[in-house]
Amino acid sequence: MAEGRVTVFGGTGFLGRRVVRRLAGEGWLVRVAARRPMVPAGADRRRVELAPADIRDEAAVAAALSGAAAAVNVVGLYVERGDATFQAVHVDGAARVAEEARKAGVQRLVHISGIGSDPASPSRYVAARGRGEAVVRTEFPAATLLRPSVLFGPDDAFLRNLAAITRLPVVPLFGRGGTRLQPAYVDDVATAFARALAAPATAGQTYELGGGTIHTYREILERVLVHQGRWRPLLPVPFAAWHLLAALAERLAEPPLTRDQITLMAADHVVPPGAATFQDLGIEPASLADQLANCLPAPDAFR
């Protein structure tokens, strides 16, 4: 049974809600730090407290960390809007949480990043994640870094968006659909946060969290189509054409597609050889194939 208070930044998001439930269930007093904090459905309300906070606000971050023994940062930004940029959230915000955690005497920090994070990546998102890791290591050297692949689970954006695409008469592919992905089940990633906090040996370590199986983008679309009982032709579309479409879409107030997302889809997102993984945390990760029926509505719901 865990003891003490843990502050979870981003505790209202898709992953954050599950992290809060998991930690509360293991005995932590969980402080949800978010711009509009709330108690996640299914969480033990007796073990959850709320702290309005934006990781871009130094005073709010410091207040949210007051009295905490541990901290978790699961704040994520996938599309830039206004002053909510990759730099502001994944670099400056990450540094602020790590610095204030150190100043507050927090003993453990677990920070979310992304699989293959690299400051030299052509993707602005992946590069910001890489720079964020560097500043977290500088401010809080004992931080544990978790790098999940694309997340999937009930009501996720990943599978829902694919299901929406497969309503089209012809389904466009990114290139020929050969990009390799290793989707990670969201509950497994939430468990990884709990395991990392519980095991002192994870301090200062980095874990690449890929799911139980590797699929190409085409294979995932085909599985979604089979689940829905549909057949659609799959149309290869060159990445150059996607970049042009995204450049036009970015002129909209709420672009459905960005050039950075296209850059992301041009690169494989799988666990590299020799990396520490789910198994090093004692977790056997679920595969997308095994969980697909639990993550998408029954086929009748799509007709």
At 115-126, the pLDDT tens digits run 989 999 999 999
pLDDT for 82 equals 83
Report residue 217 as tokens.
Answer: 């983008």
Could you tell me if 150 and 78 are in contact, meaning their C-beta atoms sit under 8 angstroms apart?
no
Whole-number pLDDT of residue 238: 95
CA angle 295, 298, 301 (to 5 degrees): 115
| pLDDT for the residue numbered 216 | 96
Other CB atoms within 10 A of residue 303 CB: 8
**In the prediction, which pLDDT does 1 show?**
37
3-state secondary structure the chain: CCCCEEEEECCCCHHHHHHHHHHHHCCCEEEEEECCCCCCCCCCHHHEEEEECCCCCHHHHHHHHCCCCEEEECCCCCCCECCECHHHHHHHHHHHHHHHHHHCCCCEEEEECCCCCCCCCCCHHHHHHHHHHHHHHHHCCCCEEEEECCEECCCCHHHHHHHHHCCCCCEEEEECCCCEECCEEHHHHHHHHHHHHHCHHHCCCEEEECCCCCEEHHHHHHHHHHHHCCCCCEEEECHHHHHHHHHHHCCCCCCCCCHHHHHHHCCCECCCCCCCCHHHHCCCCCCHHHHHHHHCCCHHHHC
Two tokens, residue 149? 């692949």
Predicted local distance difference test score (pLDDT) of residue 79: 84
Per-residue model confidence (pLDDT) at position 228: 87
pLDDT tens-digit map of 34-60? 999 999 999 999 999 999 999 999 999
Domains of the chain in sequence order: 5-151+184-210+270-285 (3.40.50.720)
What tokens appear for 123 in the block?
A: 């993707």
Q: Which of 295, 267, 90, 261 lies closest to 182, judged by CA?
A: 267
Q: Which parts of the chain have pLDDT scores under 70? A: 1-3, 298-303
